[in-house]
């Protein structure tokens, strides 16, 4: 599992090089955004269950067929599994947000996930929609907590979206 700093060190160590201007700029930007990242994590932590619940309601309102007979989130067990997955995405996105790196998502969440989803018939594009709804809710929450620049919040959620949507050839 890597963060912004260890990942940079790894890349420069492989090449046997000292940090150059690019590396220093990226370190600077990581440390400068550090407090905002921690504040964002705090805002998410204070209402994680609420964010997941609200995102679920919004998703099922947009795509009601998911919770109708024949839908993948139909039955209490599968409904709960769906919200649990959303909670995984939110929690790991928060880790990635603090780390300034998406490696934790690749290693702990995304590896093999599409195959699992495909074998269980869990539909990818509604899942991706759920992740995007959570991103928007998180950004609202963080803006309400007083953070002005919330753009960095997109990265982990968009990473999950990109990786899940990628077509297997």
Ligand X SMILES: CCC1=C(C)/C(=C/C2=NC(=C\c3[nH]c(/C=C4\NC(=O)[C@H](C)[C@H]4CC)c(C)c3CCC(=O)O)/C(CCC(=O)O)=C2C)NC1=O
With binding defined as CB under 6 A, does residue 150 bind ligand X?
Answer: no
| Stretch of 16-24, 29-37, 40-48, 78-86 contacting ligand X, by CB under 6 A | 78-86
Q: Tell me whether residue 83 or residue 147 sits nearer to ligand X (CB atom).
A: 83
With binding defined as CB under 6 A, does residue 104 bind ligand X?
Answer: no
Which parts of 1-60 interact with ligand X (CB under 6 A)? none
With binding defined as CB under 6 A, does residue 97 bind ligand X?
Answer: no
| Stretch of 30-38, 98-106, 124-132, 144-152 contacting ligand X, by CB under 6 A | 124-132
Count of residues of this chain found to bind ligand X when the rule CB under 6 A is applied: 19
The full DSSP string for 100-166 is TSSHHHIIIIITTHHHHHHHHT--HHHHHHHHHHHHHHHHHHHHHTT-S--GGGHHHHHHHHHHHHP
The span from the CA of 52 to the CA of 50, in Å, is 5
Q: How far is the CB of 62 from ligand X (least distance, A)?
A: 11
Q: How far is the CB of 78 from ligand X (least distance, A)?
A: 4
From candidates 51, 82, 90, 99, binder to ligand X by CB under 6 A: 82
Residue 93: name the closest of 3, 4, 156 by CA.
Answer: 156
Torsion of CA 113, 153, 140, 85, to 10 degrees: 10
């Amino acid at each position: 599992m890597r963060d912004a700093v260890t990942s940079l060190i790894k890349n420069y160590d492989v090449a046997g090089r000292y940090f150059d201007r690019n590396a220093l700029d990226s370190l600077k930007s990581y440390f400068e955004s550090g407090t905002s990242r921690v504040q964002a994590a705090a805002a998410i932590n204070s209402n994680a269950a609420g964010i997941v619940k609200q995102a679920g309601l919004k998703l099922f309102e947009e795509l009601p067929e998911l919770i109708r007979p024949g839908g993948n989130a139909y039955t209490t067990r599968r409904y709960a599994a769906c919200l649990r997955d959303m909670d995984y995405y939110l929690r790991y996105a928060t880790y990635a947000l603090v780390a300034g790196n998406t490696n934790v998502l690749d290693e702990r969440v995304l590896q093999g996930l599409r195959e699992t989803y495909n074998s269980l018939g869990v539909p990818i594009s509604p899942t991706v929609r759920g992740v995007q709804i959570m991103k928007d809710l998180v950004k609202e929450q963080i803006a309400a907590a007083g953070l002005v620049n919330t753009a960095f919040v997109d990265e982990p959620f968009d990473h999950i979206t990109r990786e899940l949507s990628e077509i297997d050839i």
